[in-house]
Structure 1
Amino acid sequence: MPTISSEGSTPPALKPYQYRQTAESFGSDAERYERARPQYPQALVDRIAAAGPEVLDVGCGTGIAARQFQAAGCSVLGVEPDPRMAELARQFGVEAEVATFEDWEPAGREFDAVVAGQAWHWIDPVAGAAMAARVLRPGGRLAAFWHVFQLPPELAQAQAAVFRRVMPDSPFNADALPKRALDVYQAMFTKAADGMRAVGGFSAPEQWRFDWERSYSRDAWLDQLPTHGNLTRLPPDKLAQVLEGVGSAIDAMGGGFTMEYATVAVTATLTGPVSG
C-alpha cells in the first residue's frame, strides 16, 4: 500500500517499480500483512468478475484479492515476486507462481481478467500492460486498483512528523507533508493509464471509485502500519520509534479513529492488437 504521508512522491531518479528491494520486502512479515491489510469492496470484485471466470492476480501477495475473486466464482492464478508471500497464499488455497510480472512466463495460458491490488506501482506500467495484453482474451479486462486512504488531519500531521524525525533520509520520505489523498495518488493512476495507452490495443482507460470507511483502534492501526512499503525494511529500533510516536498520537485522539477509504481502479479492456 503506498503511504500518503511518505510515499506520495518519489525522487525523480527512480520510479516506484525500480525500488526492487522494497517491492519484494512485504514477505518479511507475511502473516501480519495477511492479518492487517483490508479486503476490497465487493462491488469492485463483482464488476471485474463480470469479464469472465479466469483471473490472473498480479502481485497477489498473500491472496487477499484472489480469495475474494474465488468466492465470486472465479478461477485465480497468482503471480508474486516474493516467495514468502506466495507460500502463504498457497496455504490459503491460491495457486501462486513466483516471478516478477514482467519476467513471468505465461506458457500459452489466457485469462478473462488481469488484476493487481496494491501492486501495479511496483511494475513497469508499459511492460506490465504489454504482458497483460499478451495473456488476455479479446474483450478481457486489465484492472489495477488501490486503496486510497485519508487519515484524520491531526493524525496525518502527527504521523508525518514522526516519519520525518525517525527516517529523514528515506527515499520514500521526499514529501512527508500530508495532502488530499486522491490528489497524491492521481499521478500513479495517470501512469497506469498511460502505460495502457502506450501499448495500444486497449479501450480508453477508465477510473472506477468505491468509497467506504473503516474504524481503527490504536492496536489495529499499529498492526497494519509496518506492512507499508516505507516501513517494511526499517530496522527494529526505528520501527519501534515510529509505532511509539504514532501510537501516542492515536492515544491523544481517544484511542481510535475512522479512516476514509476510496478504492480506485484504473481499467481498460483488450479490443485489438497491441502496438509493435
Structure 2
Amino acid sequence: MVTLPSSQPEPADQSPHQYRETAESFGVDAARYDRTRPPYPAAMIERILAATSGKELLDVGCGTGIEARQFRDAGATVLGVEPDARMAEFARTTGIEVETGTFETWDPSGRTFDGVISGTAWHWVDPVAGAAQAARVLRPGGRLSAFWHVPQLPPEVVASFADAYRRWLPDSPASLIADRPALELYETILGNAERGIRNSGGFEHPQRWQFDWQRTYSRAEWLDQIPTHGALTQVDPDTLAAVSDAVGAAIDALGGQFTIAYATVVVTATRALT
C-alpha cells in the first residue's frame, strides 16, 4: 500500500492553475493522451457513485473523456467542461457531451448536478473559485470528487528518468523536481484541493479515499505515454526524441519494463446544506 506523507517541508508550486499554456497543451495529441493515460479503478467509480445522491454528473476538465466514459458505463449521465477545444472534440467523438470553457467562468445556465467530478485536472482549476463554482452547481447534498493517480516509481527508475530530464530539459521546472517523490509532490496538490474546499465555505469537511493498484509498463508503452506529460507537450520534436531515447535506454537497462505502484486518491466533500 502506498502511504501519503502528512506534510511537505519544501512545497512545490502552489498555483499550477495559473499556467494556462500548460493546462491547455494536452490536446496537442488527444488520441495519444486517450490511448496511453490509465483509466481509474472500478472500485473508485463505484464508491463515488454510491456516495453521491444521484447520477447526474458534471466532469470538470474532462479531457478526452476517460473518466466520463467510465462513469457513463456505470450508469451515470455525464456532461463535461473542458478548456482545450481539441480534447473536447475528441471526447465528443466517444459519445460524451462537452462544453468548452474554463470551469471557474463557465455558465451553467441554471443547470444543477448531483455530483461534480474531476480526474487528474482539478489542480488546473483555481482551488477556491473552483470549489465555490462546484457548490453553486451542486444540488443540496451533492458531492464534489476530485481524483488523481499518484505514481510511485522504483527509485532506480526515478533516478534514470531524472538524469534524462536534466540533460535535455535543464531549464524546465520538471527537471528541478524530477527526482522528488511523487507522494511528496502530490501532497501539495491534494492539500491545495482540501484547502480550497474548506475556504470556499460551500462544503462539509473534505475527506480522502485511496485505491491502490499496480501496472507494469513495457518500453514501448511508456515511450508512447511520455509525450502526453506536461513537461513534454510543448517541447520541440528534437528534444522530445532525445528525452525518449534517453528514457528508453534507461528502461532497457532495467530489463525492458518496470512496475508502477499507483495510489489513486480522491479528495471529496459534500455540499453544505445551509
TM-score bracket, normalised by the shorter chain, equals over 0.9
Matched residues in 1 for 2:173 and 2:20: separation?
Answer: 13
With the length of structure 2 as denominator, give the TM-score of the two structures: 0.93
1:48-93 alpha-carbon deviations (Å, 9 max, x no partner): 1121110100000000000000011000000000000000100000
Q: 2:7 is matched with which residue? A: none
Equivalent pairs, count: 263
Alignment of 1:192-203 (within 5 A): 192-203=193-204
**In the alignment, structure 1 residue 66 sits paired with structure 2 residue 68:** yes
4+ residue runs of structure 1 moved beyond 4 angstroms?
Answer: 8-12
The aligned amino acid for 1:105 is D
Q: 1:226 is matched with which residue? A: 227
Structure 1 unaligned spans of 5+: 1-7
With the length of structure 1 as denominator, give the TM-score of the two structures: 0.92
Matched residues in 1 for 2:165 and 2:139: separation?
Answer: 44
Matched residues in 2 for 1:253 and 1:23: separation?
Answer: 32
Matched residues in 2 for 1:172 and 1:151: separation?
Answer: 16
Q: 1:46 is matched with which residue? A: 46
1:184-220 alpha-carbon deviations (Å, 9 max, x no partner): 2111111100000001131111010000001111000
Note closer, same or farther for the CA distance 1:40–1:58 as it changes in structure 2 (3 Å cut). same
Identity of matched residues, %: 60
**In the alignment, structure 1 residue 163 sits paired with structure 2 residue 165:** yes
Alignment of 1:1-276 (within 5 A): 10=12, 15-50=15-50, 51=52, 52-179=54-181, 181-273=182-274
Matched residues in 2 for 1:142 and 1:174: separation?
Answer: 32
Asked whether the 8 Å contact 1:10–1:174 carries over to 2, the reply is no
Matched residues in 1 for 2:13 and 2:135: separation?
Answer: 30
1:80-113 alpha-carbon deviations (Å, 9 max, x no partner): 0000000010000000000011111100111111
The aligned amino acid for 2:167 is R
Matched residues in 1 for 2:82 and 2:158: separation?
Answer: 31
Matched residues in 2 for 1:248 and 1:102: separation?
Answer: 42
Structure 2 unaligned spans of 5+: 1-9
Asked whether the 8 Å contact 1:160–1:178 carries over to 2, the reply is no
Tell me how large the CA RMSD over aligned residues is.
1.3
Asked whether the 8 Å contact 1:203–1:270 carries over to 2, the reply is yes
Shift of 1:272: 2.8
